[in-house]
């Protein structure tokens, strides 16, 4: 049984996963309400909150699974990438738990974790496939040929797609985190009302700074009364531009690589228009799209575990 920990940003998470990929427990404590007053994640605040929550989420995961700590055979933790202070809390907790029980420890790349969310029961996806990983911090096109890793085909040159959604939501007066709120508001508007730009950059890379600036200008130029009436149209048109960029690049990558299957992971994979734009794609379950520890435990099955006590010098990497 694998105990996974995830503290890379503003979710404190613990999960128990069987070696075969069955999720026995997946507990996530979100800090969204804590950071909402600032309009985004404050790293030092996130780190301090992780310190308060990491032990309680482990205890809750064990309780949900009906298991004891002495039944755990491997501890897994997100080592990189993420906020350095937040990562250090998870790495330190994982090292302490593993060392106290004389267990091996598996350091996991957060991005590999998102891909590995597709390998969990009850419907694991077998490689090879093309994967669009889109979240608040990352936008990547990945060629996944086996479960142990991936090859990066394209990435964002500036903002991540999730970051663009959150910043757009803030411009439209929506609360943080804004991606889901913007998705809901977009359903009330006309996506053809505004012709926001879709960046055309080289290769299979993405760029979202231009569409974000276009929304800023559109909001700035509207009188207050008209802005209130056009928020739905603005949200729908802005979302359409971001989703078009994601979907078009993904389909182009599939054509160039000959990929027969496409997968969607990361927080933006929960977006309703993205799922509708790529109807044949396999999307991670909604509860596994945002940061969670089940995906970290899943990825730990395919990385080299460090034996006790060799991991005591392990460090996090932002």
Give residue-wise pLDDT tens across range 245-264. 999 999 999 999 999 999 99
What pTM was computed for the model? Answer: 0.96
Residue 39 has pLDDT above 90, yes or no: no
Q: How much is the pLDDT for 237?
A: 98
CATH topology of domain 2-122+291-313: Nucleotidyltransferase; domain 5 (3.30.420)
The boundaries of every CATH 3.30.420.40 domain in the chain are 2-122+291-313, 129-260
The mean per-residue pLDDT over the stretch 25-34 comes to 94
Q: Specify whether the CB–CB gap between 106 and 76 falls below 8 A.
A: yes
**Which of the four CATH numbers 3.30.420.40, 3.30.565.10, 3.30.310.50, 3.40.190.80 does domain 129-260 have?**
3.30.420.40
Per-residue pLDDT tens over the stretch 202-240? 899 999 999 999 999 999 999 999 999 999 999 999 999
Express as a percent the part of the chain with pLDDT over 70.
Answer: 100
Q: How much is the pLDDT for 32?
A: 87
Per-residue pLDDT tens over the stretch 127-173? 999 999 999 999 999 999 999 999 999 999 999 999 999 999 999 99
């Amino acid at each position: 049984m694998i105990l996974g920990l995830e503290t890379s940003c503003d979710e404190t998470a613990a999960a128990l996963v069987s070696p075969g990929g069955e999720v026995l427990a997946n507990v996530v404590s979100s800090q969204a309400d804590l950071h909402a007053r600032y309009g985004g994640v404050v790293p030092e605040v996130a780190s301090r909150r992780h310190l308060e929550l990491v032990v309680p989420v482990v205890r809750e995961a064990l309780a949900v699974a009906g298991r004891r700590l002495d039944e755990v055979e491997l501890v897994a933790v997100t080592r990189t990438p993420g906020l350095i202070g937040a990562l250090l809390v998870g790495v330190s907790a994982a090292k302490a738990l593993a060392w106290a029980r004389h267990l091996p420890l598996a350091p996991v790349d957060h991005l590999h974790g998102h891909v590995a969310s597709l390998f969990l029961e009850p419907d694991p996806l077998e490689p090879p496939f093309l994967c669009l990983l889109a979240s608040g911090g990352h936008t990547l096109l990945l060629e996944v040929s086996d479960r142990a890793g991936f090859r990066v085909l394209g990435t964002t040159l500036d903002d991540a797609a999730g970051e663009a959604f959150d910043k757009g939501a803030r411009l439209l007066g929506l609360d943080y985190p804004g991606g889901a709120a913007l998705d809901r508001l977009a359903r009330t508007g006309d996506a053809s009302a505004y012709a926001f730009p879709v960046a055309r950059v080289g290769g299979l890379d993405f760029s979202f700074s231009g569409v974000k600036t276009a929304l800023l200008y559109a909001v700035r130029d509207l009188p207050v009364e008209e802005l209130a009436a056009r928020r739905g149209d603005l949200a729908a048109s802005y979302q359409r531009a971001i989703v078009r960029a994601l979907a078009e690049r993904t389909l182009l990558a599939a054509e160039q690589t000959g990929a027969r299957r496409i997968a969607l992971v990361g927080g933006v994979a929960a977006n309703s228009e993205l799922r509708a734009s790529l109807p044949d794609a396999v999307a991670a379950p909604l509860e596994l799209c945002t940061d969670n520890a089940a995906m970290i435990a899943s990825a730990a099955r395919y990385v080299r575990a460090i034996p006790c006590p060799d991991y005591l010098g392990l460090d996090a990497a932002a």
